[in-house]
């Protein structure tokens, strides 16, 4: 059988660059993790507290406002 496989012996691991001197709390589980980690070492969730960019919030508010105005216009038009 000709199956493709991953040869783990040929794979070279890079050095860990996590800074265990400076830690922060995971935003999901609260465990202490290195400051520069991308994922929590305990729960596996993303370690960055990413809030939505301002343009997404502004766009959502504007679209909701337009939808409400349009709905109100249709309601007034039928009365």
Q: What is the DSSP string of 27-44?
A: TTT--EEETT-SB-TTT-
Q: Which residues lie below 8 Å from residue 36, measured CB to CB, with a gap of 6+?
A: 17, 18, 19, 22
Q: How many CB atoms lie within 10 A of CB 40?
A: 19
Q: Please state whether the predicted TM-score (pTM) of the whole model is above 0.75.
A: no
Alpha carbon 58 to its chain's center? 19
* Token representation of residue 16: 């860990």
What's the whole-number mean pLDDT along residues 18-43?
86
Q: What percent of the chain has pLDDT over 70?
A: 72
- Choose between 66 and 28: higher pLDDT: 66
pLDDT band of residue 51 (cuts 50, 70, 90) is low
Predicted confidence (pLDDT) per residue in 7-26, tens digit: 666 655 455 677 888 888 98
């Amino acid at each position: 059988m000709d199956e493709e496989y991953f040869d783990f012996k040929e794979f070279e691991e890079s050095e860990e660059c996590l800074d265990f001197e400076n830690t922060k709390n995971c935003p999901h589980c609260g465990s202490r993790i290195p400051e520069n980690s991308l994922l929590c070492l305990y729960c596996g969730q993303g370690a960055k507290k990413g809030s939505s960019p301002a343009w997404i919030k502004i766009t959502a508010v504007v679209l909701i406002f337009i939808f409400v105005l349009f709905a109100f216009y249709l309601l007034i038009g039928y009365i």
